[in-house]
Amino acid sequence: MTLRFVPLSELSSGQRAEAARILREALAHMPAAYNDPGEAEAEVAAFIDDEDREAIAALDGEAVLGWIGLIRTYDHAWELHPLVVDPRRQRGGVGTALTLALEARAAAAGVLTLYLGADDDYGGTSLFGRDLFPDVARKIGGIQSTARGHALSFYQKLGYEVVGLIPDANGAGRPDIFMAKRLTPPR
């Protein structure tokens, strides 16, 4: 497999449809993720049409294997959202390669920190189903992945760390876990 990275905006209409399918299928385990008709297609279009967003697709030949997006939220910190790899191609290095490509893009633009939200709305971590109040900060320290495939473990292997969370963001006992990585030392 020879990966080639291209901006999502340069994909053909058929490849954009594949990017939407990958988004839908890669996040199918999450109850509210791009299941409504046209929702995944609208998300792909947002990364082409919105000037505060951009995305990189990984291609093998002309086949879309996955894609990663960024949202310019602060001058020196951007949000990584989403990272999706075709379920048939997961655990083959595509997600890691996309993440590293996005990190290089952000660092070259002077971004100091890349951050993301790793929702747990399906039971992928030790925080799922728990009432995290009071003393949320103490409970963050003991977080662990409990289900293969939760983003927490993947991003920790790439140097991201948990920097906070919002309890009940996705419903009772379903937190959004914030992770971040410093890309370049502050000047």
CB-based burial label for 166 (10 Å; 0-12, 13-18, 19+): middle
Question: Mean of the per-residue pLDDT values for the chain?
Answer: 94
Are 1-111 and 120-187 equal in CATH topology? yes
Q: What percent of the chain has pLDDT over 90?
A: 86
Residue of higher predicted confidence among 142 and 11: 11
Per-residue pLDDT of 47-99, as tens digits, reads 999 999 999 999 999 999 999 999 999 999 999 999 999 999 999 999 999 99
Whether the predicted pLDDT of 3 surpasses 80? yes
Q: What is the pLDDT of residue 33?
A: 78
Burial of 102 (0-12, 13-18, 19+ CB in 10 A): buried
Is residue 132 classed as helix, strand or coil in its secondary structure?
Answer: coil
d(CA 149, CA 125): 10
The CATH-assigned architecture of domain 1-111 is 3-Layer(aba) Sandwich (3.40)
pTM above 0.85, yes or no: yes
pLDDT value of position 186: 67
Domain ranges of the chain: 1-111, 120-187
Domain 120-187 falls in which CATH fold? Aminopeptidase (3.40.630)
Answer whether residue 101 shows pLDDT above 80: yes
- Token pair of 152 as six digits: 């927490």
